[in-house]
Amino acid sequence: MTLRDFDSEAPAAASPVLVGVLAVVGVGLIGGSLAAALRQQGAVGRVLGVGRQTRTLERACGLGLIDAAASLEEAAAQADMIVLAVPVGAMPAILQELAPLLRPHTLVTDAGSTKFDVQQVAYAALGEKAGQFIPGHPIAGSETTGPDAADAGLYRQRTVVLTPLPENSAKDKALLTKVWERCGARVVTMDAQAHDIALASVSHVPHFLASVFMEQVAAASDSDLRMALAGTGFRDFTRIAAGSPEMWRDIFLANREALLSELGEVKAALERAEQCVRDGDGQGLHDFLERAALARRFWGSRSGLS
Amino acid sequence: MTLRDFDSEAPAAASPVLVGVLAVVGVGLIGGSLAAALRQQGAVGRVLGVGRQTRTLERACGLGLIDAAASLEEAAAQADMIVLAVPVGAMPAILQELAPLLRPHTLVTDAGSTKFDVQQVAYAALGEKAGQFIPGHPIAGSETTGPDAADAGLYRQRTVVLTPLPENSAKDKALLTKVWERCGARVVTMDAQAHDIALASVSHVPHFLASVFMEQVAAASDSDLRMALAGTGFRDFTRIAAGSPEMWRDIFLANREALLSELGEVKAALERAEQCVRDGDGQGLHDFLERAALARRFWGSRSGLS
């Protein structure tokens, strides 16, 4: 894992354009925020938006996130860099369509939450051109969706993981790193499978548990009473459950094995904690809660996130 | 369940003193915030702080939360209202000590997160004087602790549940309601057991799951890597796990049956969701995630909390 220095404070005026023409496929929260950040930093010339929904693209134009809507074909003919900011499940079709259109110098990357499957999809769809694709994952998000949720500050002080292929050129990797750094992010490179295992734990499991819990409360016969008595703890614990069902379905299926394995570990830990409650084991319960509290406080003090 | 109108905006100058001498047993986040709010509103004359730790009481004095430290005996001799803001497990001993000292007109209440056990403890300890005790639970908190965490705004727009005993006088109930309303809270009255069951679901289960998850991540052999890749979703999902181990141990033990029953429901829901993942059932997974997302968004739009 390689950490690069965080440097988002360089003045836009002094900063060079990194990407002449950027094409963003999927101008929602993730793609729209990338476009907004790079425009704010003066790091892009022209931004094209590609997507299935005309209304979304019009809105992205209206918000100033993109200069124009384009087809994937038009984007491939003009763009120096293409970012796929779509649910993981939509990537095979897009990469297959893109493969014959891709010009030799164009760099392609993605923002998907799983990386091993994306890597496999890229090899299968792009073949000889796979070296032009660098898998990436900005670890940032929000429970809000669509171009209206785009935020030029979304990636500031956040981590972006790149899981480069052996075929990627050093020049492309350096450029993509610079692009994310200009958004204020910290770039880390690691192996795709190690990424998926770690993210199963700290991202996919929390979303899964928050969603399971939220659905269980909502399905209770007295859910109105329960929800009326829910406070700020409930609010924070369940916030991620409001996220996009399509996106998270794709993530859970794409990272199925690691997710189920981690859930197994969590269930074993849950069983141990429940046993303390059943046994009225105050000391055991206290020790478990203290380990959790100390770990969370330590993380909070180190992460810069809380 | 009875809702009263929210009215915290009355100017302090025009508002009468509701409690001549208030004694707060346990001047931490919960007790300290109550004292701070009532002082800010001009609703109390003198505030006494009772506690085991001299340093905490001195700090509470220094912060202006209380006028003076007092023993429980001194508090009982002077106070018009005594608020027990201590972990549920500490209440039996305090109420037993208080029972013979309690003057006839003094109103006693608590801020414990479980209510049926507190009610039983009050009957056992106070006997004939149980009618002077009104069990209460302000649904507000924070992962921070101690007098430095006290915040006069903690109860603003929050719900306070009272679970009155049949022996409580209408006058006392009206006074206690006014006291909480002056802190900006909305007061709800309900049955103690119904409270405990609802809170097991929307407060105790989330805390239990967040703590189990946090401990499981921290215990992993690659926990450093995991935590370096944790983002804002992880931050919010685990925030409550940083809370006081003592307080939550007592809550889990006091509400053991309802907690274990709710955890059983959550595990059944988890098993159903996991089966969708195992089966690669994208539709089932999507439908479950959509139910959760819609429920959470609806709650967020209604609760005033997000």
- pLDDT 10s digits, A141-153: 776 788 999 999 9
pLDDT given at position A304: 73
Task: For B188, name the nearest residue in chain A, comparing CA atoms only.
Answer: A229
Q: Which domain holds residue B16?
A: 12-190
d(CA A92, CA A89): 7
Whether the pLDDT of residue B221 is over 60: the answer is yes
Pick the last residue of a domain from A156, A190, A224: A190
* Domain annotation covers residue B143: yes
Q: Take residue A251 and report the two structure tokens written for it.
A: 């993530």
pLDDT given at position B11: 47
Of A108-117, A135-144, A175-184, B86-95, give the lowest mean pLDDT range: A135-144
* Domain annotation covers residue A3: no
What type of residue sits at position B257?
E
Residues of B whose CB is below 8 A from A258: none
pLDDT given at position B12: 47
For residue B203, what is the domain's CATH number? 1.10.3660.10
Whether A68 has its CB under 8 Å from any CB of chain B: the answer is: no
Q: Per the CB < 8 Å rule, is B222 touching A198?
A: yes
Residues A147 and A50 both lie in one domain: yes
Strands B81-84 and B159-162 turn out to be unpaired
Pick the last residue of a domain from A154, A175, A190: A190
Answer whether B125's CB lies under 8 Å from B95's CB.
yes
Residues A215 and A151 both lie in one domain: no
**Binding-face residues of B in 168-227 toward A, CB within 8 A:** 188, 194-195, 198-199, 201-203, 205-220, 222, 225-227
Whether the pLDDT of residue A107 is over 80: the answer is yes
Whether the pLDDT of residue B155 is over 80: the answer is yes
Mean pLDDT rounded to a whole number for chain A: 93
Residues of A whose CB is below 8 A from B289: 211, 245, 248-249
Q: Per the CB < 8 Å rule, is A203 touching B235?
A: no
* Domain annotation covers residue B2: no
pLDDT band at A306 (very low <50, low <70, confident <90, very high): low
Whether B275 has its CB under 8 Å from any CB of chain A: the answer is: no
- pLDDT 10s digits, B238-248: 999 999 899 89
Total structural domains within chain B: 2
Residue A210 is nearest to which of B161, B237, B297, comparing CB atoms?
B237
Task: For B255, name the nearest residue in chain A, comparing CA atoms only.
Answer: A277
pLDDT given at position B306: 58
Whether the pLDDT of residue A302 is over 90: the answer is no
CA distance B49 to chain A (A): 27
Interface test with B, best of A249, A259, A272, A288 (most B CBs within 10 A): A249
Segment B115-135 shows an average pLDDT of 97
d(CA A198, CA A196): 6
pLDDT band at B9 (very low <50, low <70, confident <90, very high): very low
pLDDT given at position B1: 40
CA distance B179 to chain A (A): 20
pLDDT given at position A2: 38
Segment A222-226 shows an average pLDDT of 93
More confident position, A33 or B141:
A33
Whether B228 has its CB under 8 Å from any CB of chain A: the answer is: yes
Q: Per the CB < 8 Å rule, is B299 touching A230?
A: yes
pLDDT given at position B2: 38
For residue A153, what is the domain's CATH number? 3.40.50.720
Measured over all CA atoms, what is the biggest interatomic distance in chain B, rounded to whole angstroms?
Answer: 68
Whether the pLDDT of residue A5 is over 50: the answer is no
Whether the pLDDT of residue B304 is over 80: the answer is no
Task: For B299, name the nearest residue in chain A, comparing CA atoms only.
Answer: A227
Q: Residue A48: what are its φ and ψ, rounded to 5°?
A: -105, 140
Residues B25 and B68 both lie in one domain: yes
The CB-based long-range contact list for A246-249 (8 Å cut-off, 24+ gap) reads A246/A87, A246/A89, A246/B286, A247/A87, A247/A88, A247/A113, A248/A207, A248/A211, A248/B289, A249/A89, A249/B282, A249/B285, A249/B286, A249/B289
Q: Where does residue B270 fall: left (phi above 0), alpha (psi -120 to 50 degrees), or beta otherwise?
A: alpha
Q: Take residue A232 and report the two structure tokens written for it.
A: 């700020």
Segment A230-244 shows an average pLDDT of 94
* Domain annotation covers residue B3: no
CA distances from A234 to B139, B289, B295 (A): 11, 18, 13
More confident position, A86 or A302:
A86
Residues B32 and B149 both lie in one domain: yes
Task: For B264, name the nearest residue in chain A, comparing CA atoms only.
Answer: A274
Whether the pLDDT of residue A71 is over 90: the answer is yes
Whether A161 has its CB under 8 Å from any CB of chain B: the answer is: yes
Residues of A whose CB is below 8 A from B242: 293, 296-297, 300
Q: Measured in whole angstroms, how far is the alpha carbon of residue A169 from the centre of its chain? A: 23
Pick the last residue of a domain from B132, B167, B190: B190
More confident position, B6 or A93:
A93
| ipTM of the prediction | 0.83
Residues B138 and B275 both lie in one domain: no
Interface test with A, best of B162, B259, B270, B271 (most A CBs within 10 A): B270
Whether the pLDDT of residue B144 is over 90: the answer is no
d(CA B11, CA B184): 12
User: What percent of chain A has pLDDT above 90?
Assistant: 88
* Domain annotation covers residue B90: yes
- pLDDT 10s digits, A20-37: 999 999 999 999 999 999
